[in-house]
Amino acid sequence: MGMLCAVSFNRYGRLYYLDPADLRPAVGDKVLVPTDDGTEVAECVWAPQWVSDDTDGFPRLAGLATDADLHRDEVQRKRKAEAKVAAKRLIREHELPMKVVAVDHVLEPGTLNNARATIYFTAPHRVDFRSLVRDLGATLHCRVELRQLSARDSARVQGGIGSCGRDLCCATFLTDFEPVTIRMAKDQDLPLNPLRISGACGRLMCCLKYEHPLYSKFQESAPPVGSRVSTPEGDGRVVGHSVPRDSVVVRLDADGTRCSCSRASVCGPRKAHDEAYG
């Protein structure tokens, strides 16, 4: 058991969980978070609380942000905005098929001058941007690196709202992308309309994989559609499945009405067990 708090580098951005150690920041306080490029300022959005999970593997807060840290963060955000504007302008001038997605501007520890800018972009194909990098370096007066993102990574960086009305999974809690196939949509009886099963990135929604194991397990033991079964209400034919309710829809032979029966009541192994052991 230990304590954890959650911070975010951007408003409504992805949450990062850290061990507060001896610190007790309140919601809204600015704190210092260790990163690969040094400590960065973030906002506490979840005050430290005791949790039952093991917290040994979580990084620790580096401290509370001082006025100097806040000034440095403000300078960094301003230069990041300037770099994004300059990148868009130079891309238009070079007539390159690129779209700027995000910009990272990192200041060297203890300075406000030495910096490195990383510009993330999307493009329909590989782009020769060597001349663009030279012009960006001369304009921004810092080292510049360009990285091309895939459609899924672009959605993760930009964030947004999914069709479910919640923040995108990739921008909140997903750490990596698992393969998603059209077979998963078919197994869940979803309409194969790209507009219905595609996410903000234009690819198949990651959430198609969440419930797929449940559907696969259900189909292994449930009678297929069209098969004849015996139910507590009489014999009939399976005309549908209701996986969330763990039941099947049966049309009765007696009067043609439909009834919903639990999968266990029409499952062969379960019925054989009941007949053998009562």
Q: What is the pLDDT of residues 207-216, one digit of tens each?
A: 999 989 988 8
pTM above threshold 0.75? no
Mode of pairing for the β-strands spanning 30-35 and 38-51: antiparallel
Average pLDDT over residues 138-156: 89
pLDDT per position as a tens digit, 91-134: 999 999 999 998 988 876 655 566 788 999 999 888 888 899 99
Per-residue confidence (pLDDT) for residue 51, from 0 to 100: 87
Per-residue confidence (pLDDT) for residue 89, from 0 to 100: 94
SS3 content of the chain, % helix, strand, coil (to 5): 30, 30, 40
Average model confidence (pLDDT) across the chain: 85
Name the amino acid, one letter, at 135: D
Residues linked to residue 25 through DSSP beta bridges, in sequence order: none
Is residue 123 a contact partner of residue 146, using CB atoms and an 8 Å limit? Answer: no
Q: Most confidently modeled of 118-122, 165-169, 192-196, 273-277?
A: 118-122
Name the amino acid, one letter, at 176: D
Tokens representing 206 are 């990651």
Per-residue confidence (pLDDT) for residue 275, from 0 to 100: 54
Is residue 233 a contact partner of residue 259, using CB atoms and an 8 Å limit? Answer: yes
Q: Identify which of 261, 23, 157, 36 has the alpha carbon closest to the alpha carbon of residue 7.
A: 23
